[in-house]
Structure 1
Amino acid sequence: SLRAVVRRAIEHIRLQRENIQLREAVNLKRITEALGSTLELNEVLQVVLESALAEASADFGAVLLDCKDQERIRLAASRGEGEAPVDLSILDPLESLDAWREGSQKSILIKAGEETPFPCPLLARESRKSAMNVPLRAKGEFIGVLHVAREICPDSFTEGNLETLQMIAAQATFAIENASLYDNLHHDYMAIIRALANAVEAKDPYTRGHGDRVVKYTQSIGRCIGLDEEHLEKLKVASILHDIGKIGIRDQVLLKPGPLTDAEYSEMKLHPIIGDRILEPIRSLKDIRMWIYQHHERLDGKGYPEGIGGDDLVTPSRLLIVAEVFDALVTERAYKPAWSMEKVINFLRKNADTHFDREMSEVLIQLLQEEGESFYKENVIVY
């Protein structure tokens, strides 16, 4: 009967809606879990974009963040197949930037053929057919825009697509806020680490910049041997702080222009122990403390302070050992001139498997041969 047909049609529509709602709930849960798995802002933004592209069936996505303190916007992330450039110069005049902020406060859906209602470098892309902008907020304050576009697919977005993007943006806001807080804390943390290192360098002009250079060398070698970002970040801190214990060495020993006596050298060899004691209360530096403690050890066990070697020296310690010695060789010190690159390479080869890990030595030699003296003569700050 007609009534039965209508009932079946209504039931079919209801089931379709429930299926869509269930799929959206499952996808939202997946997105929430993915966003909660990291505090790195760049990773958060990539998760947001991947989710937005997939859920909206878009082929280009981007996040613009509002840098209010600098009166500019930043293309924080972009992803997709679009070929057209993102021209941020559209917002160079302050009045255009203000117009963008005002226009971006609300969600917007632009269908194929429709004009851009306000200055926006994303909506103005020539390849754009249909696009959506959704505002991102933190603690109620506008912080930027989540944008997706169809630049290959000719079909326009729907209101349903816009609602989905708004849900993703709502989840993204919390993740971005947490990641930004973490980013600020990390920046302050690194500033404190740097201040500690400055305290040592203020005592000894010959080591000024030594930590910065060791950072560069450990990062370069570490990437070549395949260390992950977590280890590289920890190595950065270890490289900056490896000589922190020298703050406890008497000036007449630390700054002595000539060779040290046996007693003075014994005192100098205490600086890894002093550094370990200084850093001991900081629980987050537990691994890093060990690397710093071992940075004057040798592979053959003839180093200090423990005289350990072989398998007792972990990879980051081995890396720090060769980087620290390398910088001492190529820079002028009170007791010696800077060595030539050829002399350094010969020294590294001669002392592989005794003083240094052979793999670390070979990687460093390869970097020197590829980049030449610019590898160690250019002033580089990498944090």
Structure 2
Amino acid sequence: MDINAHKKKQALAHNTRLQYIRDLTISIVIGIIIAIFFNFHVLDKIEAITVDWRFRLRQNPTLNPNLVIIGITKECIDKIGGYPIPRDLYSKVVDNLTKAGAKSICFDVFFDLPGAQVENDQILAKSFKTASNITLPVFTPQKVNTSSKNKLGNMIVADLIRQNMPLYTRSIEHQGHINAIPDSDGKIRRIPFMLYNNNTIYYPMSFEAFLEYRGIDKTEVHFGKHSVVVRDMVIPLDEDNCLPINYFNPETAIDFMHLDLPDFSVDTIRFYSFSDVVDNKIPAKNFANKIVLIGQTSHGLTNADECVTPFDIIFGLFLQGSLINSYLNNEFIHRWNRLYSTFLIFIFSILIGLGISKLNFFKTTLVSTLIASLYSFLAIYLFIKFNFILEIVPIIFAIFLHFAINLVKKLQDAFSVILKKDEELGIINKVGERILDICEVSDTPSLIIENIFEALPAEAALLYIKQDDDHHSMIRKGEIFKEDCELGLKKELIEVVDHLKCTLVTTQRPIVMNDVGASITAESSLISCTLERIHSLLLVPMVVHQETIGIICLCNKLHPVSGKLVEFTNDDLTLLKSILSQSAVSLENFLLYNNLRDFFLNTIKSLVASIDAKDQYTAGHSERVTAISEMIGAEMRLTPTELENLRISAILHDVGKIGISDSILCSTSRLTDEEFEVIKSHPVKGEDILKHVNEFIGIIPGVKHHHERFDGRGYPDGLKGKDIPLTARIIAIADTFDAMTSNRTYRKRLDVEFALNEIRRCAGTQFDPELVEYFFKCYETYKDVENSPFWHAHNFIKESAVQTDDSVQSVH
């Protein structure tokens, strides 16, 4: 019979629901934690590193051929004759570009102080005015603060703006700021889109140059929530209204070696030396209808404009070029706002948590690695293909947390299994140790059932053992009921087990019932009771060599902590099988041992009987000495092994008399000294007889030394005090008492009171005084017990005799 199917299905569904709720709760908690980290910018620095990796993998966005860069290189400065460059040379560049048809000229050069020659400032200002398409930079020397307190709508308030010389400012139409916002790692990844100062809005210089290039009036620039709309172009801004920079890599994006090429290369941006443009060496068509960006590209100059970016350190000129390239191509860095990203992270956390929670460690590792890899590849693909930044770190962090928690759960489960197995192994070892201490087969059933009841708490436990050689006949040999549970439960349980045990013996398969009433409904006609108290049953056969030698039954399993009724599990069945496997073999071994022991003891008794038969007056003497000795040993709480050795020693204590002549043993007169010496040899003769049998080694001390005296005046070795073996000291008292209270060939039995007084008197001289006290305790306990050796001594005709020696003679 198996667990009731409906009940099992309900339990499984319930456990599944609980597991799902637990996994969902953990996933939600992790999602909330990651969302908090994300919104409090805890992960931003690591995320920025992954963004840099994506820039380096992509290298360049689409490069627009309408952007041309003119760089003031070291070679230019050497050719011109030093730095700063005379203003008239800037004028020549502007004039040459104007003649070539450049649509927008943007200077990443700051003219805040007069030049060396005043007339050159006038010349440059005139060139600016003539060109009418010049954009110059402004900047705030203060740190740009993007906090809400420093904002006016979509604009960031700047307390100070440094501009070019008024002469130049009056000569141009466009000026824009060149400020950038470094992140915590010092790298520049975004610029503020609008700075506000003294009722004036300053756009980025690159944006002003783009407006000039496209001929767009500023009235066509509209602002949305975190975006700027210019005609059909939407420029996405972040939550601080800053523009993420869509960098190109100057090393691969810019064509520095181009002078001999007749046409533009569509996959590079043209770069020309400032001095070449001054000398008018560049064909005019290379600048026609282009947006031209001019700035420093030489290290070590005063106020050298260098920035730390995803491509390490680059010139600010290339940063402005990256921005202009983005406007020209309408390609910007896109990123979900934090609300959408938070929602994605939260949902993903729940999905990944529920997805891997039921997997084993290997699959969890594989799936987590696969998901993290696929998600990272997706993020890289979206960036390369669509310039879209998908948050990587929060998702990877969520995967890692779920993996870690899943790993911890697996480790906890494994640790719990190890602890449980260790506990079960401890129980099994404890059972084995207890079983090894059993000397009487009658103790085995009670010990087995006690072990099981301790290992698997339940309201009741029954043990059935086969009767004789009838394998199908099982008799109840042990039972334990929890307090207050026996009444009412016992009758139901015995009837149910009696009904099931035949099936169990035949099939030799365990029976697990967690809903007894439902499980045996079909057979209810065979059960007279209502089964109101029985809820669950676990019955397991004890099988040895394919033979059922016993059955154990546990009823109504209890939770070890709460004490509430719970169901039996497969783990319970496994543990019980392990215990019974050991117990069954031990039981069989002890049955065999007891059969051999009984045969052995019967053989010994036959031998002793033959000794006692030599003298009718000593008949039964060994049995009585044995009985008294066992009483004393039990009172002393000797171990089963010690009691067994004591019993056999007492039985065989006079075995040496086999080698003594019957004329001496049966003499009716007092023994002569020579005869007494012969009698005194019987302990040694007993040793000689027994030492050839290995099984008798442990009992020889009791046989050889039972005539030693506590004061050292005994024989054969004159041992004294505690040097005399314990079994010998016990047998000495029992032997003397029975000798005095029994008839002998040379005298009648002595009065019991006289014998007791003699033993008391000789305590400390002939007998161990401690053992004498135990003897008297046994006497008081058993003197009125019928057929005990003390009862036997009282129920013979009482006759007294006076003993004149200072000790009792018990040599016979």
TM-score class normalised by the smaller sequence: 0.7 to 0.9
Sort the Cα spacing of 1:245 and 1:138 in 2 relative to 1 into closer, same or farther, 3 A.
same
How do 1:247-258 residues align onto structure 2 when only pairs under 5 Å count? Answer: 247-258=658-669
1:13-57: CA deviation from partner (whole Å, max 9, x where unpaired): 866764565345434433443344343356765664455335544
Corresponding residue SS for 2:478: strand
Further displaced range: 196-205 or 48-57: 48-57
Q: What amino acid is aligned across from residue 266 of structure 1 in structure 2? A: E
Q: CA deviation at 1:129?
A: 3.1
**Paired residue for 2:229?**
none
Q: Check if 1:65 corresponds to 2:465.
A: yes
1:112 and 1:155 in contact (8 A); partners too: no
Secondary structure, counterpart of 1:142 in structure 2: strand
Q: 1:376 maps to what in 2?
A: 789
| TM-fit CA distance, 1:253 | 1.1
The answer to whether the aligner puts 1:144 opposite 2:544 as a matched pair is: no
Q: Which amino acid aligns with 1:331?
A: S
When residues 30 and 331 of structure 1 are mapped into structure 2, their CA distance, relative to the original with a 3 A threshold, is same
Q: 1:357 aligns with which of 745, 765, 768?
A: 768
Query: Is 1:215 the counterpart of 2:626 in the alignment?
Result: yes
- The 5 A counterparts of 1:223-242 are 223-242=634-653
Match of 2:479 among 63, 75, 78: 78
Question: Deviation of residue 170 (structure 1)?
Answer: 3.0
Q: How many angstroms does 1:63 deviate by?
A: 2.0
* Of 194-203 and 292-301, the range deviating more from structure 2: 194-203
Task: Determine helix, strand or coil for the equivalent of 1:136.
Answer: strand
CA distance in 2, matches of 1:9, 1:15: 14
Deviations 1:121-157 (A, max 9, x none): 9x99985432211011111111110211127743342
1:30 aligns with 2:450: no
> Residues 5 and 154 from structure 1, CA distance in 2 versus in 1: closer, same or farther, beyond 3 angstroms?
closer
Matches within 5 A, 1:118-267: 127-150=533-556, 153-267=564-678
Cα-to-partner distance string for 1:167-198 (whole Å, 9 max, x where unaligned): 43334333333333333333333233323322
- The number of aligned residues is 373
CA contact (8 A) 2:683 2:716 kept: yes
Take 1:367 and 1:181, find their aligned partners in 2: how far apart are those partners? 33
Deviation of the 1:320 alpha carbon? 1.0
- Note the alpha carbon deviations across 1:221-275, whole angstroms, 9 max, x for none: 1222332222111100100000000111111111222322222222111111110
Residue aligning to 2:511 = 108
Give yes or no for contact 1:272–1:293 (8 Å, CA) kept in 2: yes
- Separation in 1 of the partners of 2:671 and 2:531? 67
Using the size of structure 2 for normalisation, the TM-score is: 0.42
Q: Which residue identity lines up with residue 149 of structure 1 in the other structure?
A: C
Q: Deviations over 1:37-91 (max 9, x none)?
A: 343356765664455335544243232111143785343333451424867xx79
The 1:35–1:55 alpha-carbon spacing in structure 2 relative to 1, beyond 3 Å, is closer
Measure the CA separation in 1 of the matches of 2:359 and 2:538: 31
Distance 2:525 2:607 in 1: 46
Q: Aligned equivalents of 1:197 and 1:86: distance in 2?
A: 47
Q: 2:382 matched to 1:5?
A: no
- For 2:426 and 2:571, the matched residues in 1 are separated by 19
> Do 1:130 and 1:156's aligned partners in 2 also have CA atoms closer than 8 Å?
yes
Name the aligned partner's letter for residue 34 of structure 1.
K
| In structure 2, distance between residues paired with 1:328 and 1:232 | 22
Is the partner of 1:281 in helix, strand or coil?
A: coil
Aligned-partner Cα distance in 2 for 1:51–1:373:
37
Between structure 1 and structure 2, the one with the greater Rg is 2
Residues 20 and 164 (structure 1), Cα distance of their counterparts in 2 relative to 1, 3 Å cut: farther
The 3 A distance-change label for structure 1 pair 127 and 269 is farther
State the identity as a percent.
Answer: 27
> Matches of 1:164 and 1:316 in 2, distance apart?
42
Indicate conservation of the 8 Å contact 1:215/1:240, yes or no.
Answer: yes
SS in 2 for 1:203: coil
Indicate if the aligned counterparts of 1:330 and 1:376 stay in contact, CA closer than 8 A. no
Q: 1:311 to 1:66 in 2, by over 3 A?
A: closer
Shift of 1:118: 9.8
Residue 7 of structure 1 deviates from its aligned partner by 0.4
CA contact (8 A) 1:134 1:146 kept: yes
Cα 1:357–1:130, aligned 2, differ >3 Å: closer, same or farther?
Answer: same
Change in Cα spacing, 1:220 to 1:147, as seen in structure 2 (3 Å) is same
Structure 1 residues 300 and 119: CA distance shift in structure 2, 3 A: farther
Moved more, 174-183 or 322-331: 174-183
Q: 1: CA distance between counterparts of 2:539 and 2:678?
A: 64
Contact 2:457 2:557 in 1 (8 A): no
Asked if residue 269 in structure 1 is aligned to residue 680 in structure 2, the reply is yes
Partner in structure 1 of residue 737 of structure 2: 326
Where 2:631 maps in the other structure, the secondary structure is: helix
Residue 691 of structure 2 corresponds to residue 280 of structure 1: yes
* Conservation of the 8 A alpha-carbon contact between 1:100 and 1:120: no
- Which residue of 20, 43, 52 maps to 2:452? 52
Q: Cα–Cα, structure 1 residues 42 and 30, in superposed 2: closer, same or farther, change >3 Å?
A: farther
Native 8 Å contact 1:341 1:373 kept in 2: no
Retained in 1: the 8 A contact 2:646–2:699?
A: yes
Name stretches of at least 5 consecutive residues in structure 2 with no aligned partner.
1-347, 361-405, 559-563, 793-812
Contact 1:203 1:251 in 2 (8 A): yes
Report SS of the residue matched to 2:553. strand
Unaligned 5+ residue runs, structure 1? none
When the two structures are superposed, what TM-score results if normalisation uses the length of structure 1?
0.83
2:502 and 2:764 mapped to 1: Cα distance?
A: 61
Letter paired with 1:53: F
SS of 2:719's partner is coil
Query: Greater helix share, 1 or 2?
Result: 1
Give the residue type in structure 2 aligned to 1:111: N
- Between the aligned partners of 1:119 and 1:167, the Cα distance in structure 2 is 35
Q: Mean alpha-carbon deviation: is it higher for 16-25 or for 221-230? A: 16-25
Amino acid at match of 1:183: N
| In structure 1, C-alpha distance between the alignment counterparts of 2:737 and 2:596, rounded to whole Å | 32
Q: Distance in 1 between matches of 2:681 and 2:635?
A: 32
Assess if the C-alpha contact under 8 Å between 1:99 and 1:119 holds in 2: no
What secondary structure does 1:213 align onto?
helix
